[in-house]
């Protein structure tokens, strides 16, 4: 009995530390994106013009896809709390699929920018390079988010305690919803600076 209590206490401390680390990572990521936005504002402010480009429609579609993925993740979390493992898996797989779709649509947006609009990473209006910087760094975070989601769904196929299952869902939810909110902020920021 005493060993079980000690193990539970250790698990609680380890899980709490992992959650704290996740929040530290999110905080530093926010600072990174704020630094990019500040750099953009300083660059554009000195020149008196914005991006001078119409953003590809693909960015709008990818925004809808990542918002939908947050809804499917909420449904997965609700299913996990209701001990409905099959539903949890289904919604996690849907979230992963939507995350991959978001990634693919973003790459397509780069294709449109590069080959149709002839806007390259390096060009005379360096403000346009920030489109690639914002979306590219966000995509690196999306890859990490997909790995977290994959880890969470794989854990549902193992016989792990419910407390760990819920913890994995919470960690995946915190990170994925952060990615969703961050992209919406970046997209709105870019929209406001098109001209």
pLDDT at 159: 81
Spatial distance between the Cα atoms of 100 and 118, rounded to a whole number of angstroms: 26
Structure tokens belonging to residue 184: 């919406």
Digits of tens for pLDDT over the chain (195 positions)?
555 554 555 555 567 778 888 899 999 999 999 999 998 888 887 666 777 888 999 999 999 999 999 999 999 999 999 999 999 999 999 999 999 999 999 999 999 998 887 878 777 777 788 889 999 999 999 999 999 999 999 999 998 888 889 999 999 999 999 999 999 999 999 998 887
85-90 contact pairs (CB < 8 A, 24+): 85/156, 88/156, 88/165, 88/169, 89/153, 89/156, 89/157
Structure tokens belonging to residue 43: 């660059």
Structure tokens belonging to residue 102: 């978001």
CATH number of 2-192: 1.20.120.80
Phi-psi sector, 189: left (phi>0), alpha (psi -120 to 50), beta: alpha
pLDDT at 48: 67
Spatial distance between the Cα atoms of 40 and 45, rounded to a whole number of angstroms: 8
In Å, how far are 59, 99, 147, 178 from 79, measured between CA atoms?
A: 30, 19, 20, 21
Query: Rounded to the nearest 10 degrees, what angle do helices 2-47 and 162-192 cross at?
Result: 10
pLDDT at 120: 80
Q: Where are the domains of the chain?
A: 2-192
Please say whether the beta carbons of 191 and 57 come within 8 A: no
In Å, how far are 105, 133, 155 from 190, measured between CA atoms?
A: 17, 12, 37
Please say whether the beta carbons of 134 and 106 come within 8 A: no
């Amino acid at each position: 009995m005493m060993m079980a209590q000690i193990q539970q206490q250790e698990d609680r401390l380890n899980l709490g530390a992992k959650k704290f680390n996740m929040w530290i990572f999110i905080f530093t990521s926010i600072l990174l994106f704020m630094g990019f936005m500040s750099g953009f504002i300083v660059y554009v402010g000195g020149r008196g013009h914005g991006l001078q480009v119409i953003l590809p429609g693909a960015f709008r579609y990818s925004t809808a896809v990542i918002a939908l993925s947050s809804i499917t993740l909420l449904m997965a979390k609700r299913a996990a709390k209701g001990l409905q493992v099959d539903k949890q898996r289904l919604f996690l797989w849907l979230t992963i699929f939507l995350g991959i779709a978001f990634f693919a649509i973003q790459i397509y947006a780069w294709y449109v920018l590069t080959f149709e609009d002839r806007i390259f990473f390096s060009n005379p209006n360096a403000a346009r390079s920030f489109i690639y910087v914002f979306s590219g760094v966000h995509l690196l975070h999306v890859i990490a988010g997909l790995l977290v989601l994959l880890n969470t769904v794989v854990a549902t196929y193992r016989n792990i305690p419910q407390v760990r299952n819920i913890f994995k869902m919470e960690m995946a939810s915190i990170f994925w919803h952060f990615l969703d909110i961050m992209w919406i902020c970046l997209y709105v920021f870019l929209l406001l600076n098109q001209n």
